[in-house]
Each structure stands twice: as structure tokens, then as C-alpha cells.
Amino acid sequence: MAEISLVDVSMRDGNQSLWGATGLNTAQMLQIAGATDRVGFRAIDFASSTHMAVAVRYFREDPWERLRRVHAAMPNTPLQYITTGMRFIAWQQADPDFMALTYRCLQRSGIGKFIMLDPMHDADAVIAGARLVKQEGGAQVMAALTFTLSEVHTDQFYADFARKLAACPDIDLFYLKDPSGLMSAERVRSLAPAVKAAIGGKSLEIHAHCTIGRGAVTSLAAADLGIVDAIHVGIGPLGEGSSLPEAGRMLANLREAGHSVAVDEAMLAKVSDYWWRLARAEALPPGTPQAFDASFTRHQIAGGVMTTTRRQLAELKLEHRFDEVIAETERVRAELGHPIMVTPFPQMVMSQALFNVIGTERYAQVSDEVLRYVMGKFGRPTSPLDPAVEAAIRDRPRAREIEREPSFPTLADLRRKFGPHMADEEFLLRAVMPSDQVDAMLAAGPSRGHYNPDAAPMLRLLRELAGRPAARDIMVEMPGLRLALHGGAHVA
Amino acid sequence: MIRRLFIANRGEIALRVIRSAQRLGIVTILGASESDKDSLPARLADEVAIIGPAPAAQSYLDVAAVVAAARAARADAVHPGYGFLSENAGFARDLAAAGIIFVGPDPAGLDAMGDKLAARRVATEAGLPVVPGGEAADANAAMARALETGFPVLLKAVAGGGGKGMKRVTCAEDLPAAISMAMSEAQASFGNPAVYVERFIGSGRHVEVQVLGDGENAIHLGTRDCSIQRRFQKLVEEAPAPDLPDAVRAGLEDAAVKLTKRLSYRGAGTVEFLVDAETHDYFFLEMNARIQVEHPVTEAITGIDLVEQQLLVAGGAKLTLDQSMIRPHGHAIEVRINAEDPAEDFRPAPGVVTRAAWPAGPGIRIDSHIARGGVVPPFYDSLIGKLIVHGQSRAEAVAGMARALAALRIEGVPTTTGLHRRIMADPRFMAGGVDTRFFENFV
Amino acid sequence: MSTLTPEDVAEIVAILDGTPYASLEIATSRFRLRVARESGDANPARAEWSQEWDYGAPASAMRDAATPGVPVLDAVPDGLASVPAPLPGVFYHAPAPGAPPFVAVGDTVSADTVVGIVETMKLMNPVHAGVAGKVTAFCVANAVMVETGTALLHISPT
């Protein structure tokens, strides 16, 4: 039937979906990079500005060093970086010169493929971002068609968006991105052909999360259409759950359906085994197949946001109005121009719905995020805002304050601030992160490069025992392992 | 891309290659002689192929046997380690003919650097200074060349290398006999009686530069000093080479890169120089087109895994490192622990190691295939392990090495451990910058 | 845990260094490691750590034992007959766990004597001696995977 390749999202999207993006450090990725390179993936979903910030803040590791070393260990498989185009770590959009420098450094350090994701589906914004990437190097640019359910996000909508982008020479390929796992097999059978007709010879990939159990079946339905070239997957414990379909199972299913997939199955098993041993050693929860939740296709609010909102209502003794809030969410979303329900929008929309329900009148209380969104700081909304609502939101002193907020400094200003001699990569981090965090990262020195999942639990045990010397001699016995510590201080 | 790697070597370097290859997800097949089938590398490799009986000539040096074993094992590539067939162009050619990648430079590169005279010519063309001297087609020519160069001279085998087959001659009277001996030794050791003549530089330091190339680009990873040698065999190595003016260091590094680029060299290599300890004039000696025994000291100061780089380049990748990424820090020293008895003129002492307590701790690295019960067979070299210590400064590295040696206990065979303890305590060594006369004065 | 890397050992030393412990011994089925410090002087702060590894059985014997069906004894010694496995599966010496084995070394058997069981896909298949004589050796340990034809035991024919 078709030739399908696989894109492995384990290290970035899998890690983010299942392990809060704080699950993996440089050594844990480096250890499996060589083997991953040998599987034959089309690309590896490797980084985003969130991940780079987490490396600095949480691990005190240099994200540029991580990128360089992983790229060196896996030179044959392109490393993928996802971006909204004009932002790097900071929530504000940066100027084009700053982003150009960012793209230059990312490509120099080893990124071979960029995903341009504009949440508002603003074609001009995507084209501008793609242009910047291409002027700084030869990496591929893949445009995201981010799936959501709404009256405006029809097949026609996506096809029109794709057609505009396909005409741009700086955009090489496309993917159907379904971060909430909402797309059904039935829908992909109309959506994918509509998009493919619009993009012609350019390649189409699919990235469908398994949040309500649909991701694998939808991806397979897409493969069967013969117009989708690659499926995004997560390996072993980094697949399923709110992550992507599990790689080994997807490979078997694709072959069962008669497709050919040029992947080294034995090497994939080896990589999967490593991730499983790591997950067990570090007590990280594996993704598990999810039950279908019909209500989710209606409100599209992730479980975490629902839980938080329910708790906030309980604190106000207003839990009985929860259903009202959910209904209000749909109304707010429409009035705000149908943002896709991907962070930060579900939180914004839901908290506004909460304010509207419990407040004196609708839009009496408005969060700063909604204000910024309405004022276009996140980009041009997908469809027009409800004029009355927009006017009501803008009519407050806080809106004027936000209007006067300084925008992100220009590249020239930032260079002046940090001096001309700072290396590009350090400069880019200092421009957007607190200096004490960058200082701490630099002070920590080069990252460790080795991780042994089999030894990790034993080392942890040893650290515990070392921290609380309880006896002169300690013997620990478990299946397959015996440990004996001798000569400790005598404990009275 | 390399998926199955055949390791055509033994001992600590086989273990070293297996470790890096397995980390890259490559399946490792160890080509072992009968006497090495129970060794530690055999235990850790994914598969083992017996390539022949114990004697090296029938196993590790038997080109046909190794090639056949690699083919039978369905290997994509062969890593030759150091010594044995690592610089054998015929071996590299036979592998290429069998469709197997040789992890190292291409045969033309091996030929160019394997013929030490041709190497001198290429180096000269690349603008590198060479030790005064030259070729000698026969005994008379050698005599003429030696008289021209001035005594003392060194007679070296054209097809030699690794410090083997070299003879020092101090005066003309000794020359005819020395030439005959050198030529017949060269024939016996290397299959080629040709020798060449070099001025013997008395007060010289052996400084070498580690390079990496991918056929187009080349970078250096800094210098090493290997001046402490016994009969041209290195005992102690350190990185970077201490006590060199920056201009000299830069000159050596640039010269090495220039030569590497000129050869369109692929893989890891070492460009060896003789540096006059007084004037700091330097002369190209030879280029070793393989991974070297002492590579760990360079790895310690740069953080680069050289075997991994070899495998990546051999697999067809371009170097992802550029010169700006090489930022050496600190100082590293390596000592070679040999199963030899210094009290018996360093007679090799094969046997079984009944106890092997190697040092452990921050900054300490052990490259060894010998654990309790480890066998040191009589058929090969006497290296049982390398102890490498890294410190923030040379003084810290020396002190660290002294402490590490104090913790080293090998029983069952005599070793050179005691000798190294004395070297670390020697004030001239501690001061740094010793030349090749150090050892003879030391003993 | 099949091995500890040099980085793991460095980590162990770093952990133990700040404690009063003088030694750690780790034993797994693959290796034993002892990390210990000895003070050359009386000063424990100047103690140097060392690592001692012990890998146990020789590699070739371990490999043979680990490879399914490869017998520990290489060839059938002269004058003896070998009893081959009739089909692939797991070879058991006894009819049930804890029960006495069918035969022991030194027992006399006839051609029809059941000398063991090969379990394949949950079915128990008896293995008959095939020749009358005395059992001289077992070639395969209990509960080991064998292939068709693998030598299971040696019999000295009468």
C-alpha cells in the first residue's frame, strides 16, 4: 500500500505530555541518541523554547550544549524544534532580528527541521517565521494545521490556510496537529484529502494525541488514505495517555494494514526497552490507553483545567454552578474568535467563563491574559471577535496600562545591555531568562553524558543510606542484587 | 550507517571500542583469538567470533582470517584498534573489497602515512619542518646520508612506526653494522628492509597533536607530551604538553591541521613532532593514522569521545565539531601499567592476576580489561591497563596520580606500578617539560 | 543490572566519600564489585578509593549456558550415546517441581525408560533413553530451553 515513515516525539512532546517536560535531562537523552538514530525515524521531536527554559531553570543544563551533543550522537536523523514563530522563551513576541539570531543559533547547533505553529492560523505570521528560518540556514520548515472543533475550523478553513502556505517556497511540508486528540477517523477521511489537494506535492504528516483514545485509529485511517507520509509516535512508556500512539504498536498495525515502514524493528525494541527501564528507575508514569470521553469533544477543556476550575468554585461554595461555567465556556470561546483549545487558551477561556458566571455581569472582570489576547498580543484572532464583547473588554483603565507596556526590546538594545562580547547562545538565554538562573546553569559546568537506568535505583538507595548512617554494617538483598556497606560509624 | 561493528583487537582497546559502540546502539562482535575468548571484552561484546589460535600471526595479524570472520559475522564495519592491522593498507583494501567499512583513513591515506619517508615528503610539501635526514636506498647511501646529517643519527624503518625498529648510532664506525642490523630487523618486523636516516636530537621532547578529519574538514584537539619513553615505548603521557610557549603550541596545532587537510584525512589521527627542549624548534616525525594508546588524556581535557567520533565519521557523517567547540580544560596524565618486572630489565611477566584493585574516584579513569582472575597471555603486549587522572591544573593531576597509584594493587604478576610512583615523585617530572632523556637518567 | 559503567563507579565513590563507610560490595548474577578505601596514613581524609571487579564464570561457559539449547559439554565422548531432544521446548529432569528426577547419573536404563520431559506449548512430551545402559552425564541443566536434537544426556550403552 503506502510507504509510511515515523517521527519520534518521545524526548519532547511525549516528555511534555506525560512527564511535565521535566522528566528527562541531557544524559538520559544522550544515552539513547545513537540507538535512536539507527531506528530510521524521519525526524525526532526534540525541542521547544519551553524545553530549553526547563533545561536552564530545572536541570541547570545548557540547552545549546544538549542540542549539540545529541545532534552529534545522532547525525542521520533531523532534530525538530517547534515554535510559534516570533517568540523565544519569553511570552512576548520578539523583533525579527532577535528571532533571526535565534534561528541561526538553533540551526548551527543542530536543529534540522522547524515546526511553525501559529495558534490563530494567521498565514502571514507563519510565512514571516518561515522566511526568517530559511534566511539563517537550510533546515526544513513544516507548517502546523492545529486541529480543533469549532464552527469556523472546517475542512475548507484548513484547506484555505494550507493553500496560502503551500504557495510559499519557504514552507516545505505540513502536518495535521491534534494536540487534544479530538480528530476522529471519520473526520480525517475528509480533512486530509482536502488539505492534500491544497498543498499538492508537498508532504503531509499526522500528529494525533491519544487523549481520548482516538490518536492511533485516526493515524491509521490517515495512513490508509495513501496521502499521509509520516505518523508521529511516542516510544514505550512515552506513548499513549495524553501523548502520541505507541511506536511499536503503530509499526505493527501499519504493517498489518499492508503499508511499508522502513524502520529497524530490533533497534526500536532496544530503544523502547531503554525508556521502560528509565521510567521504572525514575518512577515516571507510563502513558496508558485512554477511555473515550464524549463530553470532551464538546467542551474541549483538558482534565487538569476542569479540576482546577471545580476546586476554585468549591472554594467559593459555588460548585453547583459548574455546568453553567462549562456552557459559558463555549459562548466565551465563540465571542473571542474561536481560539484553538491549546495552552494557554483553555485556561484563559475557562477562567473568563468562571468570572462571567460568578461576577456581577459578563466581562465585568477580565484577566490580563484575555486583555492581551483581545489587544492582539498573541497574534491576530482566527475569526473576528464579537464587537460588543471586544468593546466591553477594552473599556477599562487596565487596557490602557497594557497598551503602554513596553514591547520586547530590540536586538540592538539587548546587545547594548549585555555588551558586544557575549557569545550568541548565552546572550539569547540572558535576554529572556532571569540572570540568576543563567548564572547557576553556567556555574554547574558541562552536563553529564552518561545515564544507566539499571544503576539509578541502586544509586538512589545508596544516597539514602549514605545520608542516614544507621549502622556499622548494612546488608540489602533484593532479587538479582545484594548490597553490603561496611565500616560505618558506630551508632549508639 | 554502521549497525554491526567487528572489533579486530583485544585487551583494553577492544573494551574501549565496545563501550563507545554499544552506547551508539551498534551491535558489537569481538574477533578474539583462542586465548582471549574468556576475556572481559569477550564477556561484554554482543557476539564473539574466534579468529584463530593464540599466536598473533595466526589470529590478530592474519588478514585473511580477520576479513573472513568479519564477513561471516555480517559486520558493516571493522574497528582495528591500535597496533596489529590498524595501519595495514592491504587489510583496509581487502575489507573494502568485501564491502566492509574500515574505521580509519582510506588505504591511500594509510599508504601515505605508513611509508615514513613518503610521510616526510608530504609533510614537507605541506610546509612542515622535518628532522634533517633522508632516505637511504642501500647501506652506502645510508652512510652518505648519515655523514651529511651529522652524528648522532637515528636509523628508522621506512615501513615501521610505533617506536619499533629504531637504532641510535653515535659515530661513523658503528654505522655499517647498525645499518645491516636495522635493515634485517626492519625486514623481520615489517616485511620491508628499507631504512631512512634522521638526525638524532638529544634534547628533544616528543609532542604530538590529536586531529580529527572527515575528508574535507579537520580540527585538532590539542597537544600531548609523551617524552617519557623506554626504548621508544611510551610509559607516561600527558595533555596538554606542558611548558610550551603559546606560539609554539599554536604552530604545532596549525601544522597538524594543515597536514590533515592536505591528506583529506578521514578519522582520528596523531601528528607526532620532536620539539627541541631548548630552542623549541619543532620537526615533523610521523603521523599515526589510528587511535592511539594515550588518547584518553585528550578525551579527559576536551570531553570528546574520540572512538565515538571515529565511528561517526566512518559511518559517513561529517564532523559536527568545529574548532571553536574544542575548549580544553585542566590537565590529564596517563600511566601505562604493564605486566613487566622493572627489576628484571622489564621482562614481560605473563600470568594470571589474582587481585586487581584499581583506583576509583573523581577525575580517575581506568581503561583496563584485567579484573580478578584476568589472564595476561604470553602472546601479545604486556599492557594490562591505563590509569588516567585529570586535575584542574598539572600540579593537581600529578598529585592525583600519585594518590591513585598508592591505591593500585595488582597481585599475581609484577607490574610497573612502583616505577610510576617514583616518576610521579620525581622533582623533574613534577616541574614538567622533561625531554626524552628523562627515563635513561631516571632509572 | 548487567554492569556498572565507570561513571556509576565515580558516582558511588562520590556518594560514599562523605560518609563514614569504608567499603561497599555489590553482587549480581553477572559480577561482583568492591569499592573500598584504605588509609595509607591514619588520616581517613587522605584515603584512596579502589574498585575491584570479579566477573565469575568464564565468558565462553556463560555464553554457552545463556544460549538456548547449546549444551555445556561440546561433543559426545567416544563410546557413549547421547539422548537428543525430540522437539523444541523446556527440558525438565523431574515430572513436577520438587519431585525426584526421572533418572540420576549412575542409574541403569532401558531403551523405553523415560529420562525427562520436554515441555512445548504447555504440553509435556516424554523423552525416552533410546538405548539400554547407564546414565553417565546430563548435558543440559533443569528447566533450560532446548532445540530439536540438542543432546540431553549421555548413556554408556551396555
A459: chain C residues, CB-CB within 8 Å: 8, 11-12, 15
Which pLDDT belongs to residue C67?
46
Higher pLDDT, A474 or A468: A474
Mean pLDDT of B160-187: 83
Domain of B244, CATH number, reads 3.30.470.20
Do residues B326 and B301 lie in contact, with contact meaning Cβ atoms separated by under 8 Å?
Answer: no
Chain C partners (3+ C-beta pairs within 8 A) = A, B
Is C79 contained in some domain? Answer: yes
Do residues B186 and B115 lie in contact, with contact meaning Cβ atoms separated by under 8 Å?
Answer: no
What pLDDT digit, counting tens, does each position of A213-222 carry? 999 999 999 9
Q: Which domain holds residue C129?
A: 67-157
Higher pLDDT, B435 or C126: B435
What pLDDT digit, counting tens, does each position of B366-390 carry? 999 999 999 999 999 999 999 999 9
Query: Same domain, yes or no, for C51 and C81?
Result: no
Domain of B164, CATH number, reads 3.30.1490.20
Query: Same domain, yes or no, for B162 and B299?
Result: no
**Distance, CA of A356 to CA of A363 (rounded, Å):** 6
Give the mean pLDDT of chain C.
Answer: 80
Is B123 contained in some domain? Answer: no
C-alpha cell at A40: 530510521
Q: Which domain holds residue B33?
A: 4-103
**Distance, CA of C86 to CA of C88 (rounded, Å):** 7
Query: Same domain, yes or no, for B320 and B406?
Result: yes
Say if strands C114-120 and C89-92 run parallel, antiparallel, or are unpaired: antiparallel
Note the helical H segments in A243-396. 247-256, 265-281, 296-299, 303-315, 322-335, 345-358, 368-374, 387-394
Is C19 contained in some domain? Answer: yes
Work out the minimum CA distance from B111 to partner chain C, whole angstroms.
37
Query: Same domain, yes or no, for B176 and B222?
Result: no
B290, B336, B365, B394: the active-site residue: B290
**A298-307, A349-358, B225-234: range with lowest mean pLDDT:** A298-307
Q: How many domains does chain B have?
A: 3
Among A76, A79, A273, A424, the strongest candidate for a mutation testing the B interface, having the largest count of B CBs within 10 A, is A76
**Distance, CA of B439 to CA of B419 (rounded, Å):** 11
Measured N-to-C along each axis, helices A96-109 and A123-135 cross at an angle, to the nearest 10 degrees, of: 50
Out of B39, B44, B360, whose CB is closest to C49?
A: B360
Which pLDDT belongs to residue C68?
44
Do residues B383 and B14 lie in contact, with contact meaning Cβ atoms separated by under 8 Å?
Answer: no
Mean pLDDT of A70-74: 92
Query: Same domain, yes or no, for C109 and C139?
Result: yes
Which pLDDT belongs to residue A80?
98
Is B126 contained in some domain? Answer: no
Is B342 contained in some domain? Answer: yes
Which pLDDT belongs to residue C39?
66
Out of A454, A459, A485, whose CB is closest to C11?
A: A459
Is B11 contained in some domain? Answer: yes
Instruction: DSSP letter for C47, please.
Output: P
pLDDT category of residue B101 using cuts at 50, 70 and 90: very high
Query: Same domain, yes or no, for B41 and B62?
Result: yes
Work out the minimum CA distance from A70 to partner chain B, whole angstroms.
11
Query: Same domain, yes or no, for B61 and B187?
Result: no
Closest residue of chain A to C4, computed from CA coordinates: A455
DSSP per-residue string spanning B271-313: EEEEEETTT--EEEEEEE-S--TTHHHHHHHH---HHHHHHHH
C20 touching A (Cβ < 8 Å): yes
C11 touching B (Cβ < 8 Å): no
Give the mean pLDDT of chain B.
Answer: 93
Out of B3, B23, B325, whose CB is closest to A31?
A: B23
Query: Same domain, yes or no, for B248 and B362?
Result: yes
Is B314 contained in some domain? Answer: yes
Query: Same domain, yes or no, for B181 and B226?
Result: no
Query: Same domain, yes or no, for C86 and C26?
Result: no
Query: Same domain, yes or no, for C40 and C80?
Result: no
Query: Same domain, yes or no, for B211 and B187?
Result: no
Residue pairs spanning A and C at CB distance below 8 A: 65
CA of C150: how far to CAs of A301, C113, C139, C141, C146, in Å? 61, 18, 9, 12, 6
Backbone angles phi, psi at B14, to 5 degrees: -65, -45
Query: Same domain, yes or no, for C111 and C43?
Result: no
Share of chain C above pLDDT 90, in %: 18
Strand partners, B239: B332
Is C46 contained in some domain? Answer: yes
Which pLDDT belongs to residue A488?
60
Among A450, A476, A491, the strongest candidate for a mutation testing the C interface, having the largest count of C CBs within 10 A, is A450
Q: Does the structure show a pLDDT above 60 at A369?
A: yes
Which pLDDT belongs to residue A492?
42
Is C61 contained in some domain? Answer: no
Domain of C133, CATH number, reads 2.40.50.100
Q: Does the structure show a pLDDT above 90 at A341?
A: no
Is B190 contained in some domain? Answer: yes
Query: Same domain, yes or no, for B182 and B214?
Result: no
Is B80 contained in some domain? Answer: yes
Which pLDDT belongs to residue C18?
82
What pLDDT digit, counting tens, does each position of B298-321 carry? 999 998 999 999 999 999 999 988
Is B127 contained in some domain? Answer: no
**At which of B176, B199, B222 does a domain end?**
B199
Check C21 against A469: CB less than 8 A apart: yes
Which pLDDT belongs to residue C75?
56
Query: Same domain, yes or no, for B354 and B384?
Result: yes
Tell me which H or E stretch contains A131.
Answer: helix A123-135
User: Domains in chain A, start-ordered, CATH in brackets?
Assistant: 5-281 (3.20.20.70), 296-403 (1.10.472.90), 456-485 (no CATH)
Query: Same domain, yes or no, for B191 and B215?
Result: no
Query: Same domain, yes or no, for B350 and B241?
Result: yes
Higher pLDDT, B303 or C144: B303
Q: How many domains does chain C have?
A: 2
Work out the minimum CA distance from B405 to partner chain C, whole angstroms.
9
A68 touching B (Cβ < 8 Å): yes
Is C148 contained in some domain? Answer: yes
Is C52 contained in some domain? Answer: yes
Q: Which residues have a Cβ under 8 Å from the Cβ of A376 and sit 6 or more positions away?
A: none
B290 is catalytic: yes
Q: How many CB atoms are closer than 10 A to CB A180?
A: 24
Which pLDDT belongs to residue C59?
53
Is C51 contained in some domain? Answer: yes
Domain of B28, CATH number, reads 3.40.50.20
Check C2 against A454: CB less than 8 A apart: yes
Do residues B44 and B82 lie in contact, with contact meaning Cβ atoms separated by under 8 Å?
Answer: no
Is C62 contained in some domain? Answer: no
**Distance, CA of A101 to CA of B187 (rounded, Å):** 61
Query: Same domain, yes or no, for C74 and C128?
Result: yes
**Distance, CA of B7 to CA of B18 (rounded, Å):** 8
Backbone angles phi, psi at B270, to 5 degrees: -135, 130
Query: Same domain, yes or no, for C146 and C72?
Result: yes
Which pLDDT belongs to residue B186?
84
Work out the minimum CA distance from C125 to partner chain A, whole angstroms.
32
Burial per residue of A482-492, b for 16 or more beta-carbon CB atoms within 10 angstroms, e otherwise: ebebeebeeee
Query: Same domain, yes or no, for C48 and C72?
Result: no
pLDDT category of residue C122 using cuts at 50, 70 and 90: low
Query: Same domain, yes or no, for C73 and C131?
Result: yes
**At which of B199, B228, B254 does a domain end?**
B199
Q: Does the structure show a pLDDT above 70 at A132?
A: yes
**Distance, CA of B6 to CA of B13 (rounded, Å):** 13
Q: Does the structure show a pLDDT above 90 at B236?
A: yes
Chain B positions touching chain C (beta carbons under 8 Å): 19, 37-40, 42-44, 48, 355-362, 364-366, 371-373, 403-404, 406-409
**Distance, CA of A367 to CA of A356 (rounded, Å):** 11
**At which of B150, B167, B199 does a domain end?**
B199
Mean pLDDT of A260-271: 96
Check A459 against C19: CB less than 8 A apart: no
Work out the minimum CA distance from C51 to partner chain B, whole angstroms.
5
Query: Same domain, yes or no, for C85 and C25?
Result: no
**Distance, CA of B33 to CA of B54 (rounded, Å):** 5
What pLDDT digit, counting tens, does each position of C52-94 carry? 999 876 555 555 554 444 333 445 667 788 888 887 788 888 8
Mean pLDDT of C128-153: 84
Share of chain B above pLDDT 90, in %: 72
Mean pLDDT of B61-77: 97
Chain A partners (3+ C-beta pairs within 8 A) = B, C
A35: chain B residues, CB-CB within 8 Å: 24-25
**A254-268, A271-285, B19-33, C126-140: range with lowest mean pLDDT:** C126-140
Mean pLDDT of A170-180: 97
**Distance, CA of A227 to CA of A206 (rounded, Å):** 11
